[in-house]
Amino acid sequence: MPFHHTRLPNGLTIIGETSPSARSVALGYFVRTGSRDETPEEAGVSHFLEHMMFKGTPRRTAEQVNLDFDRIGSSPNAYTSEENTVYYAAGLPEYLPQMLDILSDILRPSLRDDDFDTEKKVILEEIKMYDDQPGSVAGENARRIYYGGHPLGNSVLGTLGSVGALTRDQMHAYFTRRYAANNIILSVAGNYDWDQMVAQAAAACSGWNTAEVGRTHRTECNGVGGLHVLTRPKVQQEYVLFLAGGPPADSKMRYAADTMALAVGDDTGSHLYWALIDPGLADSADCSFYENDGSGVVYASFTSELEHAERNMEIVRKVLANVQKNGLTAEELKLAKSKITSRWVRGSERPMGRMNAIASMWAYTGEYRDVDTELANYDAVTLDDVRAYLDKYPVDRLTTVAFGPGAKVAGVEGQVV
Amino acid sequence: MPFHHTRLPNGLTIIGETSPSARSVALGYFVRTGSRDETPEEAGVSHFLEHMMFKGTPRRTAEQVNLDFDRIGSSPNAYTSEENTVYYAAGLPEYLPQMLDILSDILRPSLRDDDFDTEKKVILEEIKMYDDQPGSVAGENARRIYYGGHPLGNSVLGTLGSVGALTRDQMHAYFTRRYAANNIILSVAGNYDWDQMVAQAAAACSGWNTAEVGRTHRTECNGVGGLHVLTRPKVQQEYVLFLAGGPPADSKMRYAADTMALAVGDDTGSHLYWALIDPGLADSADCSFYENDGSGVVYASFTSELEHAERNMEIVRKVLANVQKNGLTAEELKLAKSKITSRWVRGSERPMGRMNAIASMWAYTGEYRDVDTELANYDAVTLDDVRAYLDKYPVDRLTTVAFGPGAKVAGVEGQVV
């Protein structure tokens, strides 16, 4: 599938994979900003701003944004992570001009005072709602503790205090600083004409500002270590997370890390499956690799009754220590690669999947890799590669966080949250 | 995309759409049986049996089923509805022989006594879990009441009583009666060789029995009418469902019914969106068309605080009465068709989507329709078609069911459930 890329004079990057046999097209604006790019006073502004982008522009009210998408049978969507804020849509090829027009329009929002005040209430409710979800509380706190002050541990939602105190002018300043054209990638995949699309995008985005953009703290993190116990008596189950450092998104070692994590923690046939799930010792168990800009992290986790939490913690530690010492077996490596290959291919079948994949690759590495290249990269992972990855990023160098009803876990007193 | 179909001597139907440019293949066994085909004593057996299919065969233990799928990076899945029980998987083209081998094997399960007893406990837990979910309780009861004794109102899960009393022999008798080869469709879509696949399937399935299969009560239902109030004090919100009759799956009117339901109840830009969601009167509101063998049904619903439930019921009734009287506008019809078209195309992009779509069509109509034909069928819906459909199946001929904390709603005393 042909790949193209270009850069507008103001620095906006446009990338695209064209697939003439596709029956749809997907497009997305990837803004390279998120909670890790916020100052403490701005905590939560990236996510709050993502909501505000749908509240209207000089050309459209919020209702018109929805109506205009409705007319072409599509709907826009968005998400905010620690380091990316993404706005995207998919639809029939003949409607690409309309989708591009509306998405480009909402990327320059009015940020009206009234809308800001109304939406702030929605965000504060959302923060409270997530605070009712134990899995979310456990994850947020585990990140915060593991990163020990590094901005990758910042909360995407922010706090009731930080969002409550945020002003419209602070948001506008953040927008001007981070939503500069040279910090944005437009990614398009599916059935469309590259030249026409670029001409339209250039016209729509040529007025966008350029700024000094970048990202501080692109250093690797390996966690603060230790066991940290957080207590909330009303929670029913104990949530335990184990975090270890991993390669950053632009490292070749990411393939070995991804493969190792799947062999250890996939939902069937993995080390943790056989150690915890099959014998009925825990309700869930997982191990996944997450890659970030400049740093990566491996998360292992389980949930279980409090009374079995300490025993299960020992089991997970033994599983990880064993992998650290012995690596994977040839059979395990083969199995993990075949799962990854199958999922990668199926995830690439839709333009939406490809639009996302090429944007992530480009954002992190400035490279394009087609499906076959990416499959070959996974297929090339050897037992020695896994060993070399583990030697550099030991998976038993853990920071452990427990959250749940336990007031004292493995001898550590809990802090009430 | 080429379509093929054939029938084995024992009556098993095989259908397939081949797409040489696809990078994966999906396959599924569609057994034309579900809760509507159960006697009262067997209530829940279809769903319980679906679980038992993964517990091993004469050739494989349950663990081997999982391991064998793991090796090819795939995993099998299944679901049970009122009238279909479906077993399916997707993976890389080179692994189709293995996927077909395992799926065909599990379709002839051992049904061991020990596994039956163990799995019964799992099912009983599942029934209790769903009974904790108000949306599920509301939906099950609404069906039961609307169908007034017609088997389409049967619960897929069954009850603690019926599943608790079920024996392994009853399940085996049901299996022999309903899992006969002539009641099963094997559907395959994606990148594969039709002749090779058929040869393998014929070898794998040739020993399957043939039986007198069929389905009683293929009559249309229009509901018992009236307002029925069910009360559970601990539930927080009031769930209100409005059910009206609709065309069966093999009726040409299904396209008009589907289009009307989307215009009335889609999650943005619909009648119910503007009447209930945009002004903040209800937390959710929906209208959808479901097609069954011999009968169809339109569900409208909302959830809201109890104190606003009566007002919202009036609003929904007015919306439906207005549509019944005036039909849709040309603009609404256009909008709904463009949404349906866009979703249909995107749902068809993966082999899994096509495998499902062609199997449903074939099961209900004995017809194959490619993506373009189906799009043309939606595109051909006129305002007159919508009128003709509404005249035959009035959308204001309602059976209404309320479930929630309300002990008395709109003057009707609630029955505690």
Q: Which of B23, B269, B340 shows the shortest C-beta gap to A66? A: B269
- How far apart CA A404 and CA A145 sit, in angstroms, is 16
Q: What is the pLDDT of residue B135?
A: 93
Whether residues B66 and A339 touch (CB distance < 8 A) is answered with: no
Q: What is the DSSP letter of B157?
A: S
Q: Which of A61, A75, A77 to mutate to test the interface with B (most CBs of B within 10 A)?
A: A75
DSSP string, A31-88: E---GGG--GGGTTHHHHHHHHTTSB-SS-BHHHHHHHHHHTT---EEEE-SS-EEEE
Residue B242 · residue B300 · CB < 8 Å: yes
Q: Please list, in sequence order, all residues whose beta carbon lies within 8 angstroms of the beta carbon of residue B208, skipping any fewer than 6 positions away.
A: B10, B12, B107, B108, B179, B180, B181, B184
- CB < 8 Å to B269, chain A: 66-67, 70
CB pairs under 8 A between A and B: 85
Residue B223's Cα: distance from chain center in Å? 19
- How far apart CA B185 and CA B163 sit, in angstroms, is 27
Mean pLDDT of chain B: 95
Whether residues B23 and A345 touch (CB distance < 8 A) is answered with: yes
Q: What is the Cα Rg of chain A in Å?
A: 22
Task: State which H helix or E strand residue A402 sits in.
Answer: strand A399-404
Give the gap in angstroms from C-alpha B183 to the nearest C-alpha of chain A.
Answer: 30
The pair of structure tokens assigned to A87 is: 């706005």
Q: Which of A67, A90, A269 shows the shortest C-beta gap to B269? A: A67
Whether residues A351 and B348 touch (CB distance < 8 A) is answered with: no
Residue that is written with structure tokens 């309700």 in the block: A283
> Among the residues of B206-308, which ranges form H helices?
254-265, 271-272
- pLDDT tens-digit series, residues B59-90: 999 999 999 999 898 989 999 999 999 999 99
The three-state secondary structure class of B288 is: strand
Q: Which of A70, A338, A345 shows the shortest C-beta gap to B268? A: A70
Whether residues A343 and B73 touch (CB distance < 8 A) is answered with: yes
Q: What is the Cα Rg of chain B in Å?
A: 22
- How far apart CA B360 and CA B372 sit, in angstroms, is 17
Cβ-based interface (< 8 Å): residues of B facing A: 21-24, 66-67, 69-75, 90-92, 95, 268-269, 335, 338-343, 345-346, 348-352, 371
ipTM of the complex: 0.80
Whether residues B24 and A346 touch (CB distance < 8 A) is answered with: yes
Whether residues B71 and A338 touch (CB distance < 8 A) is answered with: yes
Residue that is written with structure tokens 């409705």 in the block: A70
Q: Which of A23, A338, A349 shows the shortest C-beta gap to B73? A: A338
- CB < 8 Å to A351, chain B: 349
- How far apart CA A140 and CA A222 sit, in angstroms, is 17
Cβ-based interface (< 8 Å): residues of A facing B: 21-24, 66-67, 69-75, 90-92, 95, 268-269, 335, 338-343, 345-346, 348-352, 371
- CB < 8 Å to B22, chain A: 349
Q: Write the CA distances from B297 to B84, B294, B366, integer angstroms.
A: 17, 11, 21
What amino acid is encoded at A64 in this protein?
Answer: Q
Give the gap in angstroms from C-alpha B118 to the nearest C-alpha of chain A.
Answer: 13
Whether residues B342 and A21 touch (CB distance < 8 A) is answered with: no
Q: What is the pLDDT of residue A217?
A: 80
CA dihedral for B404, B396, B394, B287, sign (positive or negative): negative
Residues in chain A where the model's pLDDT stays below 50: none
By C-alpha distance, which of B216, B291, B223, B294 is closest to B39? Answer: B216
- CB < 8 Å to B346, chain A: 24, 90-91, 350, 352
- pLDDT tens-digit series, residues B170-212: 999 999 999 999 999 999 999 999 999 999 999 999 999 999 9
Residue A185 · residue A11 · CB < 8 Å: no
Give me the phi and psi of A396, to 5 degrees please.
-105, 10
By C-alpha distance, which of B254, B301, B37, B260 is closest to B146? Answer: B301
Give me the phi and psi of B7, to 5 degrees please.
-135, 125
The count of other CB atoms within 10 Å of the CB of residue A372 is: 10
Q: What is the pLDDT of residue A109?
A: 97
Spell out the per-residue pLDDT of chain B, length 417, in tens: 799 999 999 999 999 999 998 999 999 999 999 999 999 999 999 999 999 999 999 999 999 999 999 989 898 999 999 999 999 999 999 999 999 999 999 999 999 999 999 999 999 999 998 988 899 999 999 999 999 999 999 999 999 999 999 999 999 999 999 999 999 999 999 999 999 999 999 999 999 999 999 888 888 999 999 999 999 988 889 999 999 999 999 999 999 999 999 999 998 889 999 999 988 899 899 999 999 999 999 999 999 999 999 999 999 999 999 999 999 999 999 999 999 999 999 999 999 999 999 999 999 999 999 999 999 999 999 999 999 999 999 999 999 999 999 999 999 999 999
Residue B230 · residue B403 · CB < 8 Å: yes
No. of helices (H) and no. of strands (E), chain B: 15, 14
Whether residues B73 and A349 touch (CB distance < 8 A) is answered with: no
What phi-psi label fits residue B373: left (phi over 0), alpha (psi between -120 and 50 degrees) or beta?
A: alpha
Q: What is the DSSP letter of B72?
A: T
What amino acid is encoded at A121 in this protein?
Answer: K
Q: Write the CA distances from A126 to A87, A116, A152, A242, integer angstroms.
A: 20, 15, 21, 27
Q: What is the pLDDT of residue A242?
A: 98
Give the gap in angstroms from C-alpha A343 to the nearest C-alpha of chain B.
Answer: 8
> Among the residues of A148-210, which ranges form H helices?
160-165, 168-178, 194-205
Q: Which of B23, B73, B342 shows the shortest C-beta gap to A349? A: B23
- How far apart CA B388 and CA B393 sit, in angstroms, is 9
N- to C-terminal Cα separation, chain A? 51
DSSP string, B188-214: EEES--HHHHHHHHHHHHTT-------
Q: What is the pLDDT of residue B379?
A: 95
Nearest chain A residue to B347, by CA = A350
Whether residues B339 and A24 touch (CB distance < 8 A) is answered with: no
Residue B296 · residue B286 · CB < 8 Å: no
- pTM of this structure: 0.88
Whether residues B72 and A343 touch (CB distance < 8 A) is answered with: no
Q: What is the pLDDT of residue A219?
A: 86
What phi-psi label fits residue B123: left (phi over 0), alpha (psi between -120 and 50 degrees) or beta?
A: alpha
Q: Please list, in sequence order, all residues whose beta carbon lies within 8 angstroms of the beta carbon of residue B16, skipping any fewer than 6 positions away.
A: B3, B4, B5, B187, B188, B189, B192, B194, B197, B358
The pair of structure tokens assigned to A177 is: 């600083």
Whether residues B349 and A348 touch (CB distance < 8 A) is answered with: no
Whether residues B341 and A73 touch (CB distance < 8 A) is answered with: yes
Residue A94 · residue A112 · CB < 8 Å: no
Give the gap in angstroms from C-alpha B45 to the nearest C-alpha of chain A.
Answer: 25
Q: Which of A23, A61, A370, A371 to mutate to test the interface with B (most CBs of B within 10 A)?
A: A23
Q: What is the pLDDT of residue A100?
A: 98
Q: Which of B346, B352, B355 to mutate to test the interface with A (most CBs of A within 10 A)?
A: B346
The pair of structure tokens assigned to A291 is: 């890659």
- CB < 8 Å to A75, chain B: 268
Q: What is the DSSP letter of A29?
A: E
Residue that is written with structure tokens 């439930």 in the block: B309
The three-state secondary structure class of B334 is: helix
Q: What is the pLDDT of residue B283?
A: 86
Q: Residues, chain A, total?
A: 417
- CB < 8 Å to A23, chain B: 345, 348-349, 371
Q: Which of B24, B73, B345 shows the shortest C-beta gap to A23? A: B345
What amino acid is encoded at B240 in this protein?
Answer: V
By C-alpha distance, which of A4, A1, A37 is closest to A22? Answer: A1
The three-state secondary structure class of B155 is: coil
Give the gap in angstroms from C-alpha B73 to the nearest C-alpha of chain A.
Answer: 4
- How far apart CA A304 and CA B128 sit, in angstroms, is 20
Q: Please list, in sequence order, all residues whose beta carbon lies within 8 angstroms of the beta carbon of residue A156, skipping any fewer than 6 positions away.
A: A34, A35, A44, A46, A47, A80, A81, A82
Residue B357 · residue B375 · CB < 8 Å: no
